[in-house]
């Protein structure tokens, strides 16, 4: 993840006009007909909004140069994403000669990260230049989140008692679940998924800054925009159980209620060496 963040910052510096730079973006894959993760995406737009570009970067932090098999897999992945207008791979080391030829054949650009030397007077990051503002905005849960599992069960008291002890999640009558080790992990996944879904809804869109605010330096940290109430009935995938006494009870659904709100965190970075 650290290398992905470095690449994202490099993209932001290289494309200050970018509409968005996203670490870990979901992009449509026409071959699998699913949304798939791309390490870094950069979206730019013309001044009138009539034209736009969407670049996808796959980042590899390996001990040695990337070989042709590695590059070929990434080329196929990126070329199955028709929304991308630019496709690139970033390596923390380098590429083999055959890997470079493979990327050229697939029209995928290659980049290499190099160690950054201490700045000189000509370096745009040198002391005395304006600070670089890193801003993180995310939709967070505020206050408590109420979750009620198996809303139609007749064993409410026993079920609640078991869930409060953060019992293990089972994949069947005996084996541990491969994804959710316990109830807390399952709840974290459900709440994370709801945050992503509500961020796509009209009522959950990130508020625009006030017209009077002209600089990121003037935007305060903390919550912004109004609270977003959440009331959701979530169906749980098959094969999620807990042990209740001597029996394995399936968790089938959960009713979730709470409040989401956008939060902003900024870091002004002027130290480079």
Q: Pick from 1-5, 56-60, 170-174 the range whose average pLDDT is largest.
A: 56-60
Rounded Cα distance between 231 and 210, Å, is 28
pLDDT above 80 (res 273):
no
Q: What is the average per-residue pLDDT within 36-57?
A: 72
Q: What is the pLDDT of residues 237-270, one digit of tens each?
A: 878 888 888 888 889 999 999 999 988 876 655 4
**Tokens 């089972």 correspond to what residue?**
170
What three-state secondary structure class fits 187?
A: helix
Nearest alpha carbon to residue 257 among 190, 165, 179: 190
Residues 6+ apart with CB under 8 A from 227: 142, 259, 260, 261
Ranges of each domain in the chain: 2-112, 133-268
End-to-end CA distance of the chain: 22
Pairwise pLDDT comparison (250 vs 50), residue with the higher score: 250
The per-residue pLDDT for range 149-191, each reduced to its tens digit, is 998 888 788 888 888 888 888 887 678 888 888 888 898 889 9
Radius of gyration for the chain, computed over Cα atoms and rounded to the nearest angstrom: 23
The pLDDT of residue 258 is 94
Q: What is the CATH number of domain 2-112?
A: 3.40.1350.10
Answer whether 80's CB lies under 8 Å from 112's CB: no
Residue 72: is its pLDDT beyond 80?
Answer: yes
Share of the chain above pLDDT 90, in %: 16
Cα dist from 164 to 154, 160, 161, 234, whole Å? 18, 6, 5, 19
pLDDT in tens, 113-159: 877 665 544 455 555 555 555 566 788 899 889 999 998 888 788 88
């Amino acid at each position: 993840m650290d290398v992905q963040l470095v690449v994202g910052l490099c993209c932001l510096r290289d494309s200050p006009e970018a509409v968005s730079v996203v670490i870990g973006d979901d992009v449509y894959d026409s071959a699998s007909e699913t949304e798939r993760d791309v390490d870094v995406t950069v979206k730019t737009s013309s001044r009138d909004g009539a034209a736009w570009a969407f670049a996808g970067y796959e980042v590899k932090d390996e001990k040695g140069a990337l070989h042709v098999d590695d590059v070929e897999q990434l080329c196929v992945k990126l070329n199955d994403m028709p929304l991308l207008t630019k496709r690139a791979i970033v390596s923390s080391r380098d590429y083999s000669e055959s890997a470079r030829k493979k990327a050229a054949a697939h029209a995928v650009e290659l980049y290499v990260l190099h160690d950054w030397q201490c700045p000189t007077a000509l370096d745009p990051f040198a002391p005395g230049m304006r600070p670089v503002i890193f801003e993180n905005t995310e939709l967070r849960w505020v206050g408590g989140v109420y979750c009620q599992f198996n809303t139609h069960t007749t064993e409410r008291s026993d079920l609640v008692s078991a869930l409060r002890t953060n019992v293990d999640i089972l994949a069947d009558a005996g084996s541990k679940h491969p994804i959710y080790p316990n109830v807390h992990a399952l709840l974290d996944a459900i709440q994370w998924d709801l945050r992503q879904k509500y961020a796509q809804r009209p009522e959950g869109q990130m508020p625009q800054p006030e017209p009077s605010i002209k600089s990121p330096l003037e935007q305060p940290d903390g919550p912004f925009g109004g609270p977003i109430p959440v009331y959701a009935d979530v169906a749980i995938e098959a094969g999620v159980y807990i042990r209740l006494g001597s029996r394995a009870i399936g968790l089938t659904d959960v009713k979730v209620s709470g409040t989401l709100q956008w939060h902003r965190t900024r870091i002004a970075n002027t130290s480079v060496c």
